[in-house]
Amino acid sequence: MDKGSETLYLKYLEINGFKSFPDRVKLEFGKGLTAVVGPNGSGKSNISDAVRWVLGEQSSKTLRGDKMEDVIFGGTQLRRPMGFAQVTLTIGNEGRDLPIDADEISVSRKLYRSGDSEYRINDNAVRLKDIHELFMDTGLGRDGYSMIGQGKIAEIIGAKSTQRREIFEEAAGISKYRYRKTEAERKLAQTQENLLRLKDIMTELEDRIGPLKVQSEKAKRFLELAEQRKQIEFSLWTAQLAKITVQLRELDDQQTVGRLEHKRVEEQLEQLSRQMEQLFSDMQKAGAQIEQIRAEIGGLEEEIASSDSRVAVLHNDISHNERSAQMLAEEQKSAADSQEAFALYIAQKEAEKSVLLQKQAQAEEKIRAAEEQNGQFQEQILQISRQLAEKKEEESRMALALSEQKVLAVTRQNALTDAKERISLLEEGKDEKEQKRRLMKKELDECREFLQTLEETLGSLSNSAKGVQMKLSSRQEKERALQEEKERLELKIKEQSQRAALLEELERNMEGFAHSVKYVLNQSRSGAIRGVHGALSSLLRVDAKYLVAVETAVGGALQNIVVDDETVAKRAIGMLKNSGAGRATFLPLTSVKGKRLNVSGLERFEGFVGIGSELVDFDETYRGVVESVLGRIAVVSDLDEGVRMAKQYGYQFRIVTLDGQLINAGGSMTGGSAGRSTGLLSRKGEIDGLKKQAEDYRKKSDSLDEGLEAIRREISQLEAQFMGIEAEKKTASEDQIRYGAEEKRLRTMLEDLQEDQERSDEQRRRLAGQIESLTGQCEEDAGKLAETEAALFDFRSKLAELEQRERQIRQQRELSADALNGLQMEKMAVGQEIALLDQAMEEQRRRRDDQQKQISSVKEQIESLSEQNCRIQEEIAVIERENAQKRQQIGQLREQITTQSALRLQVEQQTNALRQSEKDILIQKEKYAGELLRLEDKKAAVQKEYDTIISKMWDEYETTRSQAEAIAQPAQDINQANRALGEVKGKIRALGTVNLEAIEEYEQVAQRYEFMSEQIGDVERSKAKLQQLIRDLTTQMRELFTDSFEKINRHFSQIFVELFGGGKAQLKLTEGEDVLESGIEIYVQPPGKIIKNLAALSGGEQAFVAIAIYFAILKVRPAPFCLLDEIEAALDDVNVNKFAEYLQRLNQQTQFIAITHRRGTMEHADVLYGVTMQEEGVSKILTLEVSEIENKLGMKNI
């Protein structure tokens, strides 16, 4: 932009809450010279700071503050601090000189005390960077030359030559090129860093790709050998499993025979046990009956002893009552003698009292006469005293009234004159004040109504925002929790499903079952045989905590097959026999009827869990089968409790602990550590549990999906709602602050006006009344004065006569009072003697009455004691009859004890005989049990070998037996297969450490290597383009700067001569090689001076030199508008006029706003803005056209 734009100019500046401008202020600027004036400290430089701030200034020091928050109005003694500062700059853009399609461009910046800030262009939120780029190379930017203050002027002269470049670069129009160059250099540096990182990655990949290729080939060879090893191992394992299956079938047959014998012996033991239980019960009943009889005898004996003690106590009570009656009779006789003495004493005292009463009556008659006379004297004195007091008071009132009348007459006359003058003045301003009050009241009501609306709106918005925020936080937290819970559930579902699938595969293949059992069940599934319900293990449902105990107790019987009846069992046995599939045990529902263990007292043991059949769930159809297997097995918590129970019941039944330790009938024990559970019940229960857990997890996950979708929709709605509320709240808060200040101002002014008006009205009413009253009173005052003086003289003569009469009567009253005192003393002495006699007679009467009451009480006590003795004699007779009956009853009970003891002895002898028989049978049972245990241990060892192979299949290859049999090749020679396996393992060992991930890693690294190669090529091409762009920009910047610098230098030389009236000046580059990095030196020579150093110039000369450079820059590259903040402060008046005149020459291309306090600048201004501080700390703006001032003062033609 080589020429000043005629359409790009500053139109408005709006300030609100910035520094000393708390109220919204709008400054309108024309195209001429606008001067902003005001005294020091009034805040005029804050206008310059506001423009600099809105254009993006980030240095609080430049804005004359410690921190950016200091630009917000901080409050005064009368005003509260503002919550924000806002400045809006409006620029005319009719010629579209700025790249925005609008006639006006408004740039706004707003800062809150919280530190939040916002930038806007035409009410659209933008970045600070956008504002910088908008004004780049226009001279209006933050670092441009459109805003010059005293500090900037001083910098032009005092700065180093290399530091003067900024303003010249802005004037040369190379700022945008330097900005683009800086961006390009930054991108080039990033590109170089990216290239270095890419090459480092390429180097790393080159180091890795070779070794990875070797490892990949080695891993592939390993996989080939591993597949061969797998094939051979499957062949060997399936052969071993087939051999083990035959062994297990033979062991099952042997166990079946042993169990039958063991069962026969158990039935004999059970029969003996029932007999002994019955005898034991009879013996316990006899013992209990004996103890009951003995307890009854003891109770009767205690009652007899208690009754004897009671009889002895009653005899003692009779003796005590007789002694008490004798003492009371003696006391009654003594009291009767005392009554006569009391009566004689009282009669003597009554005679003495009569004499004293006559004497007292005579004294009272004399006192009444004396008091009557004395009262007459006193009445006369009181009457005269009242008359005297009234007369004296009347005298004082008359004298005071006379004095007041004299003063009042003069005062009323003066007050009448003053009131007439004051009411005349008040009437003059009444109408003007009333009109002003009505207008102000209307404004205040409107302001309050709007503030009330704002307060309600803010309260509603705050509550809404808090509610929405709480809901939003709650929903977001709930969303996170739901998402985490869903991920956890999906992982659980996957784990449970995989585990259940494996176990189901084992269950379908009937892994762990004997070959014979598998055969029968498969035949049943195919329909070859009907009536088969399944293996016992498939019909039971066991809680996990009882699994170990039940599996240990039942053992191999879990593979017993439950069928309808004996016919089905015979048919199945025939099929096994014909096919040679082995032997199996069948449990026909019609014949197997187990019996539950019936032993009393098991519940007394703390560790007793329950009978085995009670701890499993099953269909009621199978109760007989389950009772036969588990009905006579007790389950306890631990081995110690089991041993204690077995000893108590003489090892009659089997006991198993929850951790699988077994105490057999007869006393043998089986136990130890339990291996990993692979039992049939465990597997079935685990499958059911896993499926149920997976299904529960799946249902929970599905419900979580719906919840997540709903909560996310709600979060989106709440976020949008919250942002809308916050925007409304911000607008309402700003309005509330502004209208709150206005309401306070109006309220204060209205209150002052109202009070003033009320005072004026009251004064008018009071003055009117005073004038009317004073006029009449002044006429009456003269006549009243003479009348009052004559009446006062007559009154004082009568008062002297009344005082003489009062003194005479007082002397007579004193003589009468002395006589009255003597009579009263005589009466008082007689009264005291009468009181003493009354007191003595009252005491004797009281003592006589008390003694009479005592005689009556003694008589009643004697009669009561006699009645008590009769009742006691009757109670003794009853107790003795009852004791005789109880002794007879005790004799009968002792005969019953003898009979029951003989019966219990007979039962004990029978029990001992049965116990001997039980021992013989237990020895046989122990023998069979030992054989079964041996078979069980052998089968467990074989089964463990079987399970080990199955586990190895799964652990190493995750394969079941059926899958392995499908893969395996029949091993013709086991030894040869083992040798082949050894050779394959040797080859695998020879490979050493193998990295199986190397295959995939090699492919990834190879792909990445190829991708990186392409990336490096792209980055190098980008680097070359950036380097070329930097070279082109540098060339353009050098050409533009050189051309502009020569023009500025030429204009500087011309303007210097014009301003200084001669001399010479020029600008020189310190380095000619690179003009973009060269410093700028200033050489000046004012008229008649030789200057070698700019420091030799005076302050005014230095400022004038800097102003000349500034004017030269504006000549070459005019700015649309310039804001000058007291840059002419150091000039004298003559130079100020030169400065102002030159501004007038330049204002055709540039709009000037000058902040000044120099008269010369003001005189050349087209518009004056005055900045004042009528209220301390608050700046106000006054506007006046200079043409108006000239017209008013008649200066137009001067």
Average pLDDT over residues 1142-1151: 82
For residue range 578-611, what is the model confidence (pLDDT) as tens digits? 888 888 889 998 888 877 888 888 888 888 889 9
Q: What angle do CA 1008, 1009, 1015 make, to 5 degrees?
A: 85
3-state secondary structure of 679: coil
Please report the domains of the chain, with CATH numbers, ordered by start residue. 1-146+1122-1198 (3.40.50.300), 513-677 (3.30.70.1620)
Residue 85 has pLDDT above 90, yes or no: yes
- For position 15, what pLDDT does the model report? 93
Q: How confident is the model at residue 634 (pLDDT cuts 50, 70, 90)?
A: very high
Residue 109 has pLDDT above 90, yes or no: yes
CA distances from 1161 to 124, 356, 1105, 1155 (A): 38, 127, 18, 9
Sign of CA dihedral 159, 164, 167, 171: positive
Of residues 464, 473, 1024, 909, the one with CA closest to residue 722: 464
- For position 1192, what pLDDT does the model report? 46
Amino acid at 846: R
Residue 1193 has pLDDT above 50, yes or no: no
Q: Which long-range contacts (CB under 8 A, 24 or more apart) does 808-811 make?
A: 809/377, 809/380, 809/381, 809/384, 810/381
Average pLDDT over residues 151-172: 67
- For position 948, what pLDDT does the model report? 83
CA distances from 53 to 24, 110, 747, 1122, 1123 (A): 17, 10, 34, 15, 13
Q: How confident is the model at residue 733 (pLDDT cuts 50, 70, 90)?
A: confident
Residue 371 has pLDDT above 90, yes or no: no
For residue range 222-233, what is the model confidence (pLDDT) as tens digits? 778 877 777 777
CA distances from 776 to 479, 763, 769, 770, 772 (A): 94, 20, 11, 10, 7
For residue range 257-292, what is the model confidence (pLDDT) as tens digits? 877 877 777 777 778 777 777 777 777 777 777 777
Average pLDDT over residues 522-536: 85
- For position 16, what pLDDT does the model report? 92
Average pLDDT over residues 821-840: 68
CA atoms within 13 A on the CB side of 551: 23
Residue 812's DSSP bridge partners are none
For residue range 749-777, what is the model confidence (pLDDT) as tens digits? 777 777 777 777 777 777 777 777 767 77
Distance CA 140, CA 1115 (A): 16
CA distances from 193 to 230, 437, 1028 (A): 52, 76, 18
Specify which of 424-438, 487-501, 1012-1026 reaches the highest per-range mean pLDDT.
1012-1026
Residue 621 has pLDDT above 80, yes or no: yes
Residue 395 · residue 795 · CB < 8 Å: yes
| Backbone dihedral angles phi then psi of residue 817, each to the nearest 5 degrees | -70, -35
Distance CA 13, CA 25 (A): 8
What are the tokens at 176?
A: 């945008």
3-state secondary structure of 60: coil
Average pLDDT over residues 797-819: 69
Q: What residues contact residue 853 under an 8 Å CB cut-off, 6+ apart? A: none
Q: What percent of the chain has pLDDT over 90?
A: 3
Distance CA 1164, CA 1137 (A): 8
Residue 87 has pLDDT above 90, yes or no: yes
Residue 518 · residue 576 · CB < 8 Å: no
What is the pTM for the complete model shown? Answer: 0.39
3-state secondary structure of 504: helix
For residue range 297-346, what is the model confidence (pLDDT) as tens digits? 777 767 776 776 667 677 766 776 666 666 666 666 666 666 666 667 67
